[in-house]
Each structure stands twice: as C-alpha cells, then as structure tokens.
C-alpha cells in the first residue's frame, strides 16, 4: 500500500501525469472515470499565480469527484514559489507537487523545471521553504539529470527527501532528451532500492500498455506508475493497466463505438466548462489518439480539425462510425438499386 501524507492507496496506484494543455478538467474527468488513482492539474507558473493571471488561476479549479488531486507548480524563485504554494493551498487540493523536470525551453530558460537539476542547492532551498509554508504533503517530479553525463537523480532524491517531500516521481529521461529516445528506468530502480530512501518512488516514462506497466513494476519495484502522453486520446489505458496488474487478464482495446462515445463525452465536458469555440479548438489534440489505427481516418481528421460547431463534430463522428461498420451491417442506400 502506498501512502502520501494522509492519502492512502489500497492497491498499486496508476497515476495521471500533469501535462500542459492536456490535463485540464474535462480530460481529468474522463481519466478519473477510467480509473486514474491520482491526478494533477496542468502545471502552473508561480509568477502567474502571484500576478493573479486569469489563465493560471483557472488551472486551480477542480471538482470534488477528482480527489485525490494535486496542484503542480513551477518557478525559479524561492519566495515566489512559497507565495504560489499558499495561493494553491487555498484551492484545497490533496497535495502540492513541485515541477523539477519540465524540459521545454521557455521554462528552462527562466531557471524553472529541469533547470533546477543544475542547481541542486536552490532546488533544496525551494523545497524546504515550500514544505514549511503548507500543511499539505509536498511531492516532486523530476528527471534523471540534465544530460547523459550529469545523471544526478540518486543525490537529488536523497536531498529532496531530507528537505521534506513525501514522494518523488522520476521520469526516466534526462532534460536534453526532451521526450525522445527511450526512457531508462535503471536509475529509477536504483533510487527505489536505496535503503536510505523511505518515501514512495513513482516511475514515469514510456508506459504505453499494460504489459510494460507490469514489467516496470516487477523489475524496478516502484511504488506506483505515472502515465502521461500514452493516455492522450486513450484514457482506457488506466482501466486496462489496473485490470492487468490485478488479474493478469488483458482487456481488449476499446471498440470504435466506444472511442466515438468517449470523444462525445469529453467534448461535452469541455463545452460545459469552456464554451463551444474553445472546446472545439482544444479537442483537436486528442483525435489522433482516439482514432489511432482506424483505417482511412486521415480524411476525417482533417475535417474534424476545421469543424465549426459541435453538431459538425457529431455528424463527422457518425460518418466515421458508418464508414467503418462491417460490410454486412452497413446501411443500404436505396438509390443504389
């Protein structure tokens, strides 16, 4: 059983990774329904919260049925991170997560995210200050190191534990890999096997199916698994991973009708939360995942990307369904006789 502060997980937890422009409320609701044990908001810039930026504040919003849920923040200045933590705490999440792993240039160039792997003393000071500033459990997400020659995660994990974090998530890549190459879980396993580490260690990176999830769990002994990009347009992955870990039975991939109904549900959630125009734009990034492997989907994808209304989307989805029905069940066009 894994525990973070007073949050207890009765079985091996499968966790949704925080992803910018992906893990908004509408997508999180879908993932929760599919079995995600713990979720995080999109990461939020500390400076944005301090300036009371509308976009940053909006990311603090979540619903009670999403619990347990964490708010992830990032930044480079210790005092700003403390202030942002206190603002985030007002939203009453279950935990605060510190982003020490984001590799994108706009974050790293300002000294946030994975840049702190090159300044471990600052990372530690920031963590200590945030832990002291909140009553909530504080966790951290990071990477193996800055590059292949500077994989300092073993030291970082110890320092962060000493600074007071209650769990650590490690992505099996260095910063300079971004999201390319193959995730290496070897050092994640070494951190977990270190007898001096007594906080939960959560592994992240390249878990794209239930079989890999089981392999990573058994080979490296992690306390939980976090999944990110593989869930985009594939929220069933949580259900399939958890079922496989519990029973050894591999559930089938979702049918086309299940995929279409899930798109409709996520679109409805997004429209309720953000309005039709914004929802149509933000759904575009999910279609490739939802319809991966569907024959001749490219034509429909292009039409979905330029659809101007909810009704247009629904009509296109119905076309996809009809075009991919088994031949014996397709409707007969009376004009063909």
Asked if the bond preceding 68 is cis, omega within 30° of 0, the reply is: yes
- Are 108 and 115 in contact by the 8 Å Cβ rule? The answer is yes
Q: Are 127 and 135 contacting, i.e. CB atoms less than 8 angstroms apart?
A: no
Told to judge if 102 belongs to the known catalytic residues of this protein, a careful annotator would answer: yes
Catalytic residue among 22, 25, 84, 102: 102
Q: How far is CA 279 from CA 19, 266, 285, 307, in A?
A: 17, 9, 11, 11
Instruction: Kindly state the DSSP code that residue 38 receives in the 8-state scheme.
Output: B
- Read off φ and ψ for residue 57, nearest 5 degrees: -60, -35
Contact status, residue 26 vs residue 270, Cβ threshold 8 Å: yes
Helix, coil or strand: residue 98: strand
Structure tokens that stand for 84 in this block:
């942002």
C-alpha neighbours within 13 Å on the C-beta side of residue 193: 11
**CA atoms within a 13 Å half-sphere pointing along the CA-CB vector of 55:** 9
DSSP of 162-211: HHT-SEEEEESS-GGGTT-S----HHHHHHHH-TT--S-EEEES---SHH
- Specify the 3-state DSSP secondary structure of 290: helix
Residues that are catalytic: 102
């Amino acid at each position: 059983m894994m525990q973070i502060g007073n949050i207890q997980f009765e079985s091996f937890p499968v966790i949704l990774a925080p992803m910018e422009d992906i893990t908004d409320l509408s997508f999180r609701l879908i993932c929760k329904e599919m079995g995600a044990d713990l979720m995080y908001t999109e990461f939020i810039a500390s400076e944005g919260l301090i300036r009371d930026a509308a976009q940053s504040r909006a990311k603090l919003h979540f619903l009670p049925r999403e619990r347990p849920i964490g708010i992830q923040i990032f930044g480079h200045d210790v005092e700003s991170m403390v202030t942002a933590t206190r603002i985030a705490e007002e939203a009453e999440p279950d935990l605060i997560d510190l982003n020490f792993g984001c590799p994108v240039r706009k974050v790293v160039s300002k000294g946030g995210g994975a840049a702190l792997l090159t300044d471990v003393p600052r990372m530690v000071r920031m963590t200590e200050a945030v832990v002291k500033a909140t009553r909530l459990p504080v966790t951290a997400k990071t990477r193996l190191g800055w590059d292949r020659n500077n994989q300092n995660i073993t030291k970082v994990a110890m320092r962060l534990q000493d600074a007071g974090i209650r769990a650590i998530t490690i992505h099996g890549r260095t910063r300079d890999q971004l999201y390319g190459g193959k995730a290496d879980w070897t050092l994640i396993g070494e951190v977990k096997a270190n007898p001096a580490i007594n906080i939960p260690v959560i592994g992240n990176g390249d878990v794209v199916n239930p079989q890999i999830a089981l392999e990573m769990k058994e080979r490296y002994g992690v306390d939980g698994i976090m999944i990110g990009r593989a869930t985009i347009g594939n929220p069933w992955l949580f259900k399939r991973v958890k079922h496989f870990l519990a029973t050894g039975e591999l559930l089938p991939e979702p049918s086309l009708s299940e995929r279409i109904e899930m798109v409709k549900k996520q679109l409805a959630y997004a429209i309720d939360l953000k309005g039709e125009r914004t929802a149509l734009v933000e759904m575009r990034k999910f279609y490739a995942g939802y319809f991966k492997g569907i024959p001749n989907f490219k034509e429909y994808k292009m039409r979905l990307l330029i659809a101007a209304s909810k009704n247009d989307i629904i009509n296109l989805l119905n076309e996809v369904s009809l075009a991919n029905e088994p031949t014996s069940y397709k409707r007969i066009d009376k004009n063909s006789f």
